[in-house]
Structure 1
Amino acid sequence: MRTLLLLCALAVVALAEHHGDHHDDHDDDCDCSGGKRAGLRSHILNARINKLSHAIDDVNGKIDKTIEKAMKHVRKIKGLDSAVDKLAGNGCHKGEFQCGDDQCISDLMVCDGAKECENGADESEFTCKERVPAGTVLTGNIKVGHAECTRRKPTKFEVFINSARKVNYFSSRMRLGGYINLHFHDGDSDTVDRLDFHGYYNFANRLLAIEPPEDDGLGITCQFWPHTYDHCHAHIVHEASLEPCADFVLYKD
C-alpha cells in the first residue's frame, strides 16, 4: 500500500513537471549565455527535487498516521476481547489452562517443555514469553482511601524486579526477586519505604504474584490480560484468604 501511494505521488509530481517543461523550452529560445543557461537549468532541477521530496514526505506522514490509527483500533479490539473472555470465563476450572479450544490442562503442565495441548498452545512462544524479566519496573498510583487495609496507606507503588529464573522442576512458574518502593504520607511529609520481596510469575494465567514482604500477611497479585502486557491489574490481597483489599493498575516503565 505504501509503495502504491508513493507511485501515485510521483505520477502527480511528474505530470506537474511536464507542464513546467513547456516553460523551460521557451527559456531555451532566449538569447542566454551558456553559463547562465546551465545555472537556470540547475536551479529548476533543484526546485523539482525539493518539490518531489516534500511530496514523498507528505505521503509518508499520512501513511504513518493511518497505520498508527489502525493499530490503536486493533489494540482496543483485543482489549475488549480480553474483557469479554474474563467475564464469560474460558470453560476451564481454577488451576487449569485453556488450550484455545475445548481442551483444558493443569496449569502446572504449561511451559514445562512437553506439549500437552493438542494444538501446542501450552508451549507456544506467546504463552511462555518472559513478560516480567529481570530489569522490569512497574509503577502505579493508588487513590487516597483505597488502601485502608495496609499499615502505611500508600499512594504510589514502584515494583523493581531484579532477578527472574525458571526452576527445572517447577518450570510453569518463574521465580522472581526484587523490591517495592512504597510512597505514603507520614504526617506533613512524603516518605518512601523499601521492601524486599520474593514472588513468581504464572505462565498459564499471566499472573504476577508477590509474597507478603512483611508480617502483616498482605501480598500483591497483578493480572496481565492477553495482548495488554504493558500493564497489569493489581490487588493487595490477604495471604490467608486471598481476599483483595485494594486494587490499582501497574504500568511498565
Structure 2
Amino acid sequence: MKSLRLLLPALAVITAVLADHHEHSHDEEIDKLNEDALKLTHEIIELQEKLDRRSDAKRIQRAGSLKARVEALEDPSCPDHEHQCGGDDPQCVSDLLVCDGIKDCRNGDDESHCHNPFHAGDDFVGDVVFDHCTKRRPENITLSVESISVAAFFPGFPKLHVHVNIHKETDEDEVEVSLPSDAIYSFAEDKLIVYPSEDDGLGLVGQFDGYNFDRFVGDIIHEASKEHCARFIFHRK
C-alpha cells in the first residue's frame, strides 16, 4: 500500500513534465500520454481505496465475531474449565493458567489474548431481549465499572466492583435503583460474572465473542438453579 502512495507523486511529476513540453513537440502524442497518466492515477487511487476497505478494522472484527459464532456451534475439544490452545497442535490447559504471565500452550496462545475489556469508569448499556424473572422488568440496564483489582496469585481473573443501574418509567411510577456488586472477569472464557446483589439470588453472566469487546450477551441466571431467565445485549456506552 505504501508503494501505491509513492507512485502517485511520481505520476504527478510525469504529468507536469509532459504538460510543460506540450507546446514544443508532438501535441497529440503528449496529450495522449497525459490522458493515460491521469487514467492510471485514477486507477491507482481506486485500487488503494479497495485495499483500505479490505483492511478496515471493523470488517476484520465482524469476520472474527462470525468465526467465533461458528466455533461455538462445534463440539468442544477440551473439558470444562480448560482452554483450547488451537493451531496445528491442539492442546488443553487449565483456565487458571491463562494470562498468568507464563506460556503453558506450546504455541503461546494462553498468553496472547490478555486485554481486559473493562476499565474503571466504563459503562455498558444492556437492552432487554426477554425477561421472565427480574423484579422490575426494565427495558434496559447499565453496568458501571467502579474499580478493578488483580490478585498476584490469580492474574487471569481480575476482580471488579460494579454498579447495576436500573431506570424504569411507567404511567404510575418511576423507578431508579443502583445495585453495587462484585464481579470477576475470565480471560480464558472472555466471560464476566457478576454476583447476585439482592436476596433474589439473580446474577449476571456476560459473554464476549472473543473479537468484539464493545459488545457482550448478558444472561440473568438464578444462582441456585442455574436457570437462564432473562437476557440483555450490552454495548459499550
The alignment's C-alpha RMSD in Å is 2.8
Aligned partner of 2:229 in structure 1 is 245
Does the CA contact (< 8 Å) of 1:177 and 1:198 recur in 2? yes
Does the CA contact (< 8 Å) of 1:2 and 1:63 recur in 2? no
The secondary structure found in structure 2 opposite 1:172 is coil
Aligned partner of 2:74 in structure 1 is 88
Does the CA contact (< 8 Å) of 2:190 and 2:207 recur in 1? yes
Pairs within 5 Å for 1:67-78:
67-71=52-56, 72-78=58-64
**Alpha-carbon deviation of 1:223?**
0.6
For residues 13 and 118 of structure 1, what CA distance do their matches in structure 2 show?
52
1:212 and 2:196 are equivalent in the alignment: yes
**Alpha-carbon deviation of 1:136?**
2.2
The secondary structure found in structure 1 opposite 2:218 is strand
Aligned partner of 1:232 in structure 2 is 216
Give structure 2 stretches of 5+ with no counterpart: 25-40
**Alpha-carbon deviation of 1:246?**
1.4
Aligned partner of 1:114 in structure 2 is 102
Which amino acid in structure 2 is aligned with residue 220 of structure 1?
Answer: L
**Alpha-carbon deviation of 1:193?**
1.4
Aligned partner of 2:139 in structure 1 is 155
Greater helix content: 1
Does the CA contact (< 8 Å) of 1:210 and 1:220 recur in 2? yes
Tell me the alpha carbon deviations over residues 71-108 of structure 1, each in whole angstroms, 9 at most, x when there is no partner.
24422321221111111033011111112242112212
Aligned partner of 1:191 in structure 2 is 175
For residues 223 and 89 of structure 1, what CA distance do their matches in structure 2 show?
18
**Alpha-carbon deviation of 1:133?**
2.5
Does the CA contact (< 8 Å) of 1:174 and 1:201 recur in 2? yes
**Alpha-carbon deviation of 1:64?**
5.5
Tell me the alpha carbon deviations over residues 138-179 of structure 1, each in whole angstroms, 9 at most, x when there is no partner.
112115xx2131000011111111111111233331111021
Q: Against the structure 1 CA distance between its residues 222 and 67, is the aligned structure 2 distance closer, same or farther, given a 3 Å change threshold? A: same
Aligned partner of 1:30 in structure 2 is none
Does the CA contact (< 8 Å) of 1:156 and 1:182 recur in 2? yes
Does the CA contact (< 8 Å) of 2:82 and 2:94 recur in 1? yes
Give structure 1 stretches of 5+ with no counterpart: 26-54
TM-score, length basis structure 1: 0.75
Tell me the alpha carbon deviations over residues 107-129 of structure 1, each in whole angstroms, 9 at most, x when there is no partner.
1222233333222222x142x22
Does the CA contact (< 8 Å) of 2:184 and 2:194 recur in 1? yes
The secondary structure found in structure 2 opposite 1:170 is coil
**Alpha-carbon deviation of 1:182?**
1.0
Aligned partner of 1:168 in structure 2 is 152
Which amino acid in structure 2 is aligned with residue 4 of structure 1?
Answer: L
Match of 1:102 among 77, 90, 94: 90
Does the CA contact (< 8 Å) of 2:140 and 2:232 recur in 1? no
Larger Rg: 1
The secondary structure found in structure 1 opposite 2:103 is coil
Identity, % of aligned positions: 32
**Alpha-carbon deviation of 1:6?**
4.8
**Alpha-carbon deviation of 1:224?**
1.0
**Alpha-carbon deviation of 1:197?**
1.0
